Amino acid sequence: MKLINSGPFFLVLVLCLVSCHHSRQSGVKNTPRKIYDFDLGWKFSLGDFPQATGLDFDDSRWRSVNVPHDWSIEGKYDSLNHSGIAGAFLPVGTGWYRKRFEWQKEWENKKIFIEFDGVYCNATVWINGIALGARPNGYISFSYDLTPYLQKGENVVSVKVDHSKSPSGRWYTGSGIYRHVRLLATERVYVPKEGLFITTPVVDEKSAQISVALEVINDGQSLDKTEISCKVVDHLGKKLSDSSAVLALGAGTNRLKMTFHIQNPNLWSPDNPYLYTWHITIKNGTRILDEYQSAFGIRSISFSAENGFLLNGVKTILKGVCMHHDAGPVGAAVPNDVLYRRIKLLKGMGCNAIRTSHNPFAPEFYAMCDSIGVLVMNEAFDGWEQEKAKFDYGHYFEDWWEKDLEAFIKRDRNHPSVIIWSIGNEVKGYTNETQQMLYDFIKKLDDTRPVSQGRGYNGPAVDLAGFNGHGEFKEALKHFHEKYPDKPVVGTEITHSYQTRGVYRTKTWYRRRDFPAPWERGKPFSTISDKIFLIDDLTEKELFEDVPPYYQSSYDNSIVRMGVRDYWKETRYLPYFVGAFRWTGFDYLGESFGWPARTVSFGVIDLAGFPTDQYYLYQSIWSDKPMVHMLPHWTHHGKEGMEIPVVVYTNCGSAELFLNGISLGEKPMTDDLQIVWNVPYQKGKLEVVAKTNGREIVRKSYRTSEKPQTIEILLDKETIKANQKDIVHAEMTIVGENGIPVPHADNLLTFDIKGPGKIIGVENGDILDLNPHKVNYRSAFNGKCLVILQSLDREGEITLTVKSDGLEQNSARVLVKSPGNTH
Ligand code: GAL
């Protein structure tokens, strides 16, 4: 290890280089750094309470809440709410939070910080009546030093969240302390987490160089003879490299640099999300001043027009989705378990990348992407100086961009998953000067990743040209490449297609022609029809005529400019195209078709987290794991004898379809990326067998269902902890005789909970269902519904019973165990 200290006294030291095995253990226990979960036990009230900053304020009538908390999602959908189309017609306003806490003896002579992962928006924070600061940006993490203001005995933190001006974004934002909060206690000498930067400048299969740039803050007198010990350990905690040095730590910020080498590194990638941990211990004599650690991955990335994206030297296509930060019925207050399930679901689709459109996500998102193995295009802003929604960040950009961007880059730059920084998206009033300014600023903080921008392809200061919808026009990418042959290209939003789970239309719908967006009204389809990728109708006459407005077809035939199959056909072999992020992975609230729709159905997974058929289309083109899927379902009473297009997606070589045991023929998978049979409808069993080289690999079948009989409950976990955080997802499916799902069932379900759990969200994915989410009832939509349960603070057994008029009731049990030590 090589260690250089350039602190206030500009001290430079080069230490011994020690490589692996024979180095000594630090054996340090009882680190003085302590993290206190600060999520539980807040008081909350809607309204403005300027007098609510000090200890003497009586908040006993305020509601008790835990954070993450989003008061907008608790409210009612109402066409009169100012958030409007953008904010899914949910309420906004001003809200106050307060949390009382006792001084701890162990805090004597320590520094105490409060850390907020994100508050939407305009958060002003006080401690014991003293204002600590205000942060307009609702997506950025921030912290305050509480040390000078704490008193022995009781203390109170008050937070005013001013989301009174709306719409403050182009999508649903949520309102409140919607991410985690922590207290952090350190000695006066400590490592600030934004002061650490781990890079891997030299990586190959034989060895890797790990460079660490680090700040150590000394908030006291200068100290000589401080021992700094660092080590790199593998995932089992085995030490691979370490070293220590004794040096002087001046008062203020000390900057250190060190280099490690390890042999035969286990390289990080989506297929092998292997994480190492870097540790530091700072000691003065026998006293430990700080111990800090950070996970990191060893991987190399390179982007070029010649070779596309190379991860560890291997050509890798970004198979990505754009995501907003909300998660259906929980709004913006997304428990870790809910977020984890969402990322896993995407990964199961063959997705290997997520774009955080269009703002920083919660810190745990990046840690999950590191460990699940998902690449991240990490986006800082939607717009810059000019607002895109009436009251959005554009009003604050000039005063805040630098602080927010610095906090963002420093927070996320140690994650191996993060491979691209994005500085904006379809920026209104865009200038090359601002692009250059943001670019230069990022490069000073991190020059290891490329900078891109959603639809920022024609700006000079991007390493990767980002194409949104414009990249979906015929030849658009090719023309760009001819003009800029050296510039690699990323599809920041490709492609935009629509789908509603369980809904089918056999004739193709184009947004411009069939359901124009407000800005498209009056513009004839003919102005774009020869520039977009038309899709043949599946039938001459619409077969499913009874589909209500706003719902979209789940065949690959409801698009803006390009369907999923055309995206893949057009881009997969372009050498300069590094891959694309579809708009979007999940349905998100807001940006809707207009009242009474609360979203716009771009997600290949609906608001309840249920995959649509297009999820499986992606799986068939993105994933290597053998799969087969077919659509539509096989319950079409009244359509007897009519020819129904049955579409099969598979990554196997061919498929054979059977109706009631009779083969309808085997067909090869072609460049069309789907196999179609027109099947005269007759009730019974429809089955597809996917084969490779004539051998069966996988099969799937549907049966015609009659009347709903009962409700199946599928839990994703049967045991959780009594920590008021753990989540169980309970998926309800309405089934008829023999457990056959009833695809159109819309029965009203009621949920009864006994034991130490509560419902934190109900959802069915129906974009027109405007019922509230924090209740114990919901109708099924196209046969399904989701209930999200959260543990309380006591052990026991939760019994969830679901009932519906005319159906047999059903119950499921969840064991709630002691949380153990959660710190
Ligand atoms: C894009 C925009 C996205 C979303 C999408 C909907 O232009 O960047 O944020 O609005 O359109 O079509």
CATH of the domain at 82: 2.60.120.260
CATH no. for residue 741? 2.60.40.10
Same domain, 735 and 808: yes
Measured CA to CA, the distance from residue 45 to residue 158 in angstroms comes to 11
Ligand 1: atom nearest CA of 560 is 12
Ligand 1 centre distance from Cα of residue 492 (Å): 10
Distance (Å) from CA 491 to ligand 1 centroid: 13
Active site residue 387: no
Out of 490, 493, 581, 588, mutate this one to test ligand 1's pocket (max ligand atoms within 8 Å of CB): namely 493
Question: For residue 823, is it within any domain?
Answer: no
Which run of H or E residues covers position 412? helix 397-412
Question: Which residues make beta-bridge pairs with 120?
Answer: 176
Say yes or no: 15 and 46 in one domain.
no
Determine the residue of 426, 452, 584, 592 to mutate for testing ligand 1's pocket, defined as the one with the most ligand atoms within 8 A of the Cβ atom: 426
Q: What long-range pairs does 522-531 form, CB within 8 A, spacing at least 24?
A: 528/473, 528/561, 531/473, 531/474, 531/561
Do 419 and 552 sit in the same domain of this protein?
A: yes
Kindly state whether residues 22 and 77 are assigned to the same domain.
Answer: no
**Range list of β-strands (E), 681-769:** 685-692, 695-703, 710-715, 719-721, 727-735, 748-754, 757-763
Residues 6+ apart with CB under 8 A from 630: 646, 647, 648, 649, 657, 686, 688, 700, 702
The three-state secondary structure class of 186 is strand
Last residue of a domain, one of 161, 189, 217: 189
3-class DSSP state for residue 558?
strand
Positive or negative: CA dihedral 427, 431, 437, 443? positive
Verify that 150 and 173 share a domain, yes or no.
yes
3-state SS assignment for residue 750: strand
What's the whole-number mean pLDDT along residues 715-728?
98
Pocket residues for ligand 1 (CB within 6 Å)? 170, 357, 425-426, 454, 468-469, 493, 496, 583, 591
Residues 179 and 132 in one domain: yes
pTM: 0.96
CA nearest neighbour of 354 among 281, 438, 417: 417
Could you give the strand order of the β-sheet that contains 63-65, starting from the edge strand earlier in sequence? Answer: 63-65, 42-46, 93-102, 154-163, 123-127, 130-135
Residues 689 and 728 in one domain: no
Q: Is there a single domain that holds both residue 483 and residue 592? A: yes
Q: 329 lies in a domain?
A: yes
Distance 496 CA to ligand 1 centre (A): 9
Atom of ligand 1 minimally distant from the CA of 492 = 8
517 CA closest ligand 1 atom index: 12
Domain count for the chain: 5
Task: List pLDDT tens digits, range 496-526.
Answer: 999 999 999 999 999 999 999 888 989 999 9
- The answer to the question of residue 627 being in a domain is no
- Indicate if 407 and 548 belong to the same structural domain: yes
- Measured CA to CA in angstroms, residue 543 lies from 122, 273, 284, 463, 551 at distances of 51, 46, 78, 48, 15
Structural domain boundaries enclosing 683? 636-703
Of the residues 159, 189, 219, the one at which a domain ends: 189
Kindly list the strands in the beta sheet with 276-284, ordered across the sheet, starting from the edge strand earlier in the chain: 239-249, 223-233, 276-284, 287-296
- SS3 sequence of 121-156: CCEEEEECCEEEEEECCCCCCEEEECHHHCCCCEEE
pLDDT at 9 (0 to 100): 32
Say what the pLDDT of residue 466 is. 97
In angstroms and rounded to an integer, the radius of gyration of the C-alpha atoms of the chain is 28
- In the three-class reduction of DSSP (H, G, I as helix; E, B as strand; rest coil), residue 737 is classed as helix
Within a domain: residue 628? no
Residue 246 within any structural domain of the chain: yes
Which tokens sit at 633? Answer: 């379902």
The DSSP symbol for 120 reads B
Looking at residue 20, its pLDDT comes to 30
Residues 597 and 685 in one domain: no
Q: Give the phi and the psi of residue 399 in degrees, each rounded to 5.
A: -80, -25
Residues 320 and 426 grouped into a single domain? yes
Tell me, in angstroms, the distance from the centre of ligand 1 to residue 583's CA: 8
Active-site residue flag, 426: yes
Q: pLDDT tens for residues 637-685?
A: 999 999 999 999 999 999 999 999 999 999 999 999 999 999 999 999 9
Tens-place pLDDT, residues 98-130: 999 999 999 999 999 999 999 999 999 999 999
Confidence of residue 30 (pLDDT cuts 50, 70, 90): low
Among the options 74, 187, 493, 591, which is catalytic?
A: 493
Is 102 a member of any domain? Answer: yes
3-state SS, residue 653? coil
Task: Specify the 3-state DSSP secondary structure of 441.
Answer: helix
- Residue 199 is assigned to a structural domain of this protein: no
* Closest residue by Cα to residue 570 from 476, 649, 674, 457: 476
Instruction: Say if 235 falls within a structural domain.
Output: yes
pLDDT band per the 50, 70, 90 thresholds, residue 25:
very low
Distance 684 CA to ligand 1 centre (A): 42
Among the options 426, 472, 591, 656, which is catalytic?
426
Could you read off the pLDDT of 426-474 as tens digits, one per residue?
Answer: 999 999 999 999 999 999 999 999 999 999 888 888 999 999 999 999 9
Tokens 């509230």 sit on residue: 772
Cis peptide before 632 (omega within 30 of 0): yes
Which atom of ligand 1 has the smallest separation from the CA of 358?
9
Give yes or no for a contact between 425 and 394, defined as CB atoms under 8 angstroms apart.
Answer: no
- The answer to whether 710 and 737 are in contact (CB under 8 A) is no
**Domain final residue pick, 138, 158, 189:** 189
**Which has more pLDDT, 197 or 30?**
197
Query: Do both 616 and 504 map to the same domain?
Result: yes
